[in-house]
Each structure stands twice: as C-alpha cells, then as structure tokens.
Structure 1
Amino acid sequence: MVDTKQIADHMEVVGSCGNHVGTVDHLDGNRIKLTAQDSADGKHHFLALDAVEAVRDGKVVTRMNHKQALASLQAA
C-alpha cells in the first residue's frame, strides 16, 4: 500500500494510463474522497486506497486505467 502521507488535498488522481480520474478532496479512512466539482454527476465519490499504485510527479496513480478506476468508484 502507498504511504498515505504522500497524498495531499487537491492532488490529481490518474489511471495507470495517465488519464484523469479525479481530484483528491481528502483522505477518509482507507479511502480517498474525490471532489464533487470534478465528477460527472456533481457528487463526491470514493476511491479505495488499495486501488492506488503510487504517488508520482505530484499525482496519485491507480493500479488500473482511468475507465476501470472510474467504474470502481464508490458513491458517497
């Protein structure tokens, strides 16, 4: 699992392919809460921390491509 201290509010979340998934609102236990303004439905969604591969170049990178990551998001 990635070191959660490396994940900061307002970091971009991208898929393993490099495409945009969302923006970190804040950490919420073992999940990342994404900003509502950045989602297609205008609501907050959560990404499980175990879906995160790494933090690189100031971005949170998921273990899956952006389409798979978007499909795995949990509604708030």
Structure 2
Amino acid sequence: MTDASRIAEHMDVIASDGTKIGTVDHLDGPDKIKLAKTTSPDGQHHYIPLTWIDHVDAHVHLNKTSVAAKAGW
C-alpha cells in the first residue's frame, strides 16, 4: 500500500514507461490523486487511484504505462 503522506502537490506523476502524465494537484479523498488540469493535454482534471502507484520518491511513479493510465482515468 502506498504511503499517501509522501505525495505532495506539484509532484510529477511518471508512468511505468517513463512518460510524465501530469502533476499532482492534491489528494482527493483517501484513495486517489487529482492531477492538475494545467498539465493535462486536454485541459481537464484527471484522477489516479493510489492502487496504480508503484512507489513515491521525488516523483509519483505508476505501475501502469502512460497509455493504460490515460485509458483508465
């Protein structure tokens, strides 16, 4: 399980293929991240479930490729 306390606003969210898919806006409830719409290609907010997170260091790293993540948000 991901330690949500390590996730901070403005962290890059990186897919498993190395592609940046967005920037953390904030945690939305206990189980998902809301991505900033300013970094979204379509100008919309998107949500990433915490179950998609592989690990958190200086960035949030997902266990999904960018294609899979975008298909699921």
User: TM-score, normalised to structure 1's length?
Assistant: 0.88
Q: Which of the two has greater helix per residue? A: 2
Cα distance in 2 between the residues matched to 1:12 and 1:33: 12
The answer for unaligned runs of 5 or more in structure 1 is none
Cα distance in 2 between the residues matched to 1:69 and 1:14: 10
Q: Report how far residue 10 of structure 1 moved.
A: 0.3
Aligned to 1:51: 52
Number of paired residues? 72
User: TM-score, normalised to structure 2's length?
Assistant: 0.92
Secondary structure of the residue that 1:37 maps to in structure 2? helix
Q: Which of the two has greater strand per residue? A: 1
The answer for unaligned runs of 5 or more in structure 2 is none
RMSD value, Cα: 0.9
